[in-house]
Copies of this chain bind each other. A is one copy, B any other.
């Protein structure tokens, strides 16, 4: 099939860019050194590619992601790297499920849901989830007393991912990981989990890195100096063209809007200048004249929330559609 036959807007993944990203990361962090985060693509077929290059443990952000990975037969070692109170669906899954805890309440919820293994989530500097490092050992003791296996610690230095200064990013990563190491000394267990695409090359302290964005990549990560290739675009059709009106230069309108693009990092990029984005429209001044019916490829400013808006993802090489994958981990 050719991309001309696709209804638009349509998510496209460049097969060669994806393959290169997966191979490059697997070379640096082989097998269990990487625990790919599925939140970045929400697609079990893509996770299967990551498993094929050696990573069989995965990171998830939602119960639905854990559930879908288990149903897809990818449940060898699933980490729900997030606090969760509604654990009803976790215990019965045909998978090895480990859950992050950072409080007595999340500990109790894990027990109640039939979860057997946990990591203690440690706050290493990002003001979000995670227990204070000096209290991690106490929570681990409580968890073991409640019958849980404590596999170790996790801590996410998310506030450092896009720091432009690489030296500063590395220095602060070391500071964060020193906190995690201190907590680990108190908690025990073999797992020290953390990091992301932005710190993949400098976070040498974790036993497993939780990177996700590296597979499809983000323009913000490219700007932050990451070497992975932009693999994801949104294909759109030009549905209206106006030459010019008074002093306004000409513009084109493509059928991709707020409901097909993650907008929290701002407007997408296209060959030309973006004017504004509406629910189902992108209005822009194209670099070269366009005609109604032309196809354009739009690069979203943030990949993760873009993928979650689409039902499927088309794997392409040039204009040829090689495969179509369901984005089957959406929802909660």
Chief secondary structure at chain A's binding surface:
loop
Complex interface: chain B residues within 8 A of A128 (CB): 240, 253, 278, 281, 283
Are the C-beta atoms of A85 and B237 separated by less than 8 Å?
yes
Stretch of A19-27, A183-191, A203-211, A300-308 at the chain-chain interface: A300-308
Q: How distant is the Cα of A237 from the Cα of B129 in the complex, in angstroms?
A: 13
- The reply to whether A293 and B102 form a contact with Cβ atoms under 8 Å apart is no
Asked whether, in the complex, the Cβ of B127 is within 8 Å of the Cβ of A283, the reply is yes
CA distance A280 to B293 in the complex (A): 37
Q: How many residues of A contact B (CB 8 A)?
A: 58
Cβ-closest chain B residue relative to A6:
B86
| Contact residues, A270-323 vs B (CB, 8 A) | 275, 277-281, 283, 291-293, 302, 304-305, 308-311
CA distance A84 to B239 in the complex (A): 6
Interface pair A332/B127, CB less than 8 Å apart: no
* B129 contacts A240, C-beta separation under 8 Å: yes
**Does the CB pair A292–B332 fall under 8 Å?**
no
Partner of A279, one of B7, B237, B240, B304: B304
Interface pair B305/A242, CB less than 8 Å apart:
no
CA distance A127 to B245 in the complex (A): 9
* Interface status of A137 (Cβ within 8 A of chain B): no
Q: Beyond A7-B332, A258-B262, A332-B9, is A103–B280 a contact (Cβ under 8 Å)?
A: no
Once bound together, how far apart are the Cα atoms of A240 and B105, in whole Å?
A: 9
- Residue A83 contacts which of B61, B239, B332 (CB distance < 8 angstroms)? B239
- A80-92 vs B, CB cutoff 8 Å, 1 = contact: the mask equals 0011111000000
Give me the 8 closest cross-chain CB pairs, A-B, nearest first. Answer: A263-B264, A105-B292, A83-B239, A129-B240, A258-B305, A259-B308, A61-B280, A83-B240
Instruction: List A residues at the B interface (Cβ < 8 Å).
Output: 7-9, 39, 61-63, 82-86, 102-103, 105-106, 123, 127-130, 132, 158, 237, 239-242, 245, 248, 251, 253, 255, 258-260, 262-264, 275, 277-281, 283, 291-293, 302, 304-305, 308-311, 331-332
